[in-house]
Amino acid sequence: MLPPGPPIPPLLQTLRWSFRPLAFMQGCRERYGDAFSVKFLGFETPMILISDPAAIKALYSERSHGMPSGRNLTLEPIMGPRSLLLLEGADHLAHRKLMLPPFHGERMRSYEPVVAEILAAEIESWPLGEEFAIHPRMQAVTLEVILHVVFGVTGGARLQRLRELLGRLLSDTASTGVMLSALLSRRFGGRGPWARFQRLIDQVDEQLYAEVAERRADPELEERDDILSALIQARFEDGERMTDSDLRDQLITLLLAGHETTATALAWSFDLLLRHPEQLGRLRDSLEAEEDEYLRATITESLRLRPVVPVAGRRLATELEVAGHTLPPGTDVAPAIWLTHTRADAYPEPFAFRPERFLEEGPDTYAWIPFGGGIRRCLGAAFAEFEMRIALREILTRCELQKADPRPEKVGRRNITLSPRDGTRVVLTARPPAHEHDLVAA
């Protein structure tokens, strides 16, 4: 027997999940506890949401579980069949092994100057004394970072063309209306929204294949430090390299998985920080002292309280015990990330924004899961946190910001993310003189 769930039709559950996701989940937790079934429109079987770290550990530790249902349907037409997000089994593991090294450790540090430069240019474009939404500004930053650091496109007509085409692709894929009409009209072939969307993908692909061909021929390929150049040179265990279409699918995957998510996480960090002057002051003091413990704790705490992705599920390959129920193979099970992050037994005062809670000790692996877990854990997690550290540091040392509306941002849905509904509107009240690093460099 599956755990119980709200006795309302799938349409109503889908609407509540779409428009009031936190209230919907909180209501289910109060009524049903650590595990409950939800039924969403378009899915034949229920999804079991869980929030007990022990059950989440059991779920994520079993490597044989598959992808949750529905992922292929929505992602494959855009990301392509070789996307890391869609591969399974040995093929998935082989790709992860090949793709992980450029996202780790020392490599990251070499990207710092270019990310800081992108932020400096972005900040210069902000109007003084006028209200603006910071979420779209963070999207512009994360797109630019991906173009430079991941794709390694640094200038000229191709950068301009890709910026424009990918901007359109990102806004189309973020719009439920555009995606729904595109997917529904797919069966009508040459006409309508699907055909328009397909033409855009073809144009993007043309640019990406041209970039891959030029990069393969670059005599200085070995010296380059962007991620595409690393992927071109990397070999699978059998000695083979990725094909052009494999590379194309991974580039689009990295763009779509890394752009909106990181921009949204930053927009939430500003919503939280600008409403908590004591924590903001402490963060500013620590940045002035060139320390990053408080900065890291702030990012951990924002991702806890406002996780960007609400669920990261699996389709069971073997039985799973949760909250007294034995779930059979084939069941879709997903950790409800926000519910897990707001458990009073894991986090005292769970709804308070207190970065201090992470100063002494980092979070528990299965009670802090903004990046999912196990063999499908976010490939770009370290990269996202690195980019967030630089963005918060550059913005808070170069800008005095205030929230335009002092109330907390409401949670809205954008594509698969939980996003600040009004984009976190802010006012730039002052641009203090360039900070010490710039003075030294000057």
Say which residues have a Cβ less than 8 Å from residue 190's Cβ, sequence separation at least 6: none
Kindly tell me which residue out of 46, 372, 420, 423 binds ligand HEM, with binding defined by CB under 6 A: 372
Residue 309, interface with ligand HEM (CB under 6 A)?
yes
What's the token pair of residue 396?
């808070």
Q: For ligand HEM, what does the binding mask look like between residues 202 and 241, x meaning CB under 6 A? A: ----------------------------------------
Residue 378, interface with ligand HEM (CB under 6 A)?
yes
242 secondary structure, DSSP code: -
356 secondary structure, DSSP code: G
Residue 253, interface with ligand HEM (CB under 6 A)?
yes
Kindly tell me which residue out of 37, 51, 229, 262 binds ligand HEM, with binding defined by CB under 6 A: 262
- Kindly tell me which of 82 and 376 has the beta carbon lying closer to ligand HEM: 376
- Kindly tell me which of 370 and 423 has the beta carbon lying closer to ligand HEM: 370
Report how far residue 216's alpha carbon sits from residue 98's, in angstroms, rounded to the nearest whole number.
17
CB atoms within 10 A of CB 8: 11
- Kindly tell me which of 108 and 399 has the beta carbon lying closer to ligand HEM: 108
Nearest to 336 by CA among 418, 257, 262: 418
Binders in 60-89 for ligand HEM, by CB under 6 A: 84-85
- Kindly tell me which of 306 and 398 has the beta carbon lying closer to ligand HEM: 306
Name 241's bridge partners.
235
Do β-strands 314-315 and 332-335 pair in parallel, antiparallel, or remain unpaired? antiparallel
Binders in 131-170 for ligand HEM, by CB under 6 A: 150
Please list the alpha-helical segments (H only) found in 175-292.
Answer: 176-184, 192-217, 227-233, 244-274, 277-288
Residue 383, interface with ligand HEM (CB under 6 A)?
yes
Report how far residue 229's alpha carbon sits from residue 158's, in angstroms, rounded to the nearest whole number.
16
Residue 424, interface with ligand HEM (CB under 6 A)?
no
Name 132's bridge partners.
426
Residue 308, interface with ligand HEM (CB under 6 A)?
yes
Q: Which stretch binds ligand HEM (CB under 6 A): 36-44, 255-263, 288-296, 393-401?
A: 255-263
What's the token pair of residue 304?
């806890």
- Please enumerate, as own/partner, the contacts of 231-234 that have beta carbons within 8 Å and a separation of 24 or more: 231/98, 231/99, 231/102, 234/98, 234/99, 234/101
Residue 420, interface with ligand HEM (CB under 6 A)?
no
Report how far residue 226's alpha carbon sits from residue 154's, in angstroms, rounded to the nearest whole number.
10
Kindly tell me which residue out of 162, 295, 312, 416 binds ligand HEM, with binding defined by CB under 6 A: 312
Residue 265, interface with ligand HEM (CB under 6 A)?
yes
Residue 294, interface with ligand HEM (CB under 6 A)?
no
Binding site for ligand HEM (CB under 6 A): 84-85, 96, 150, 253-254, 257-258, 261-262, 265, 308-309, 312, 370-373, 376-380, 383-384
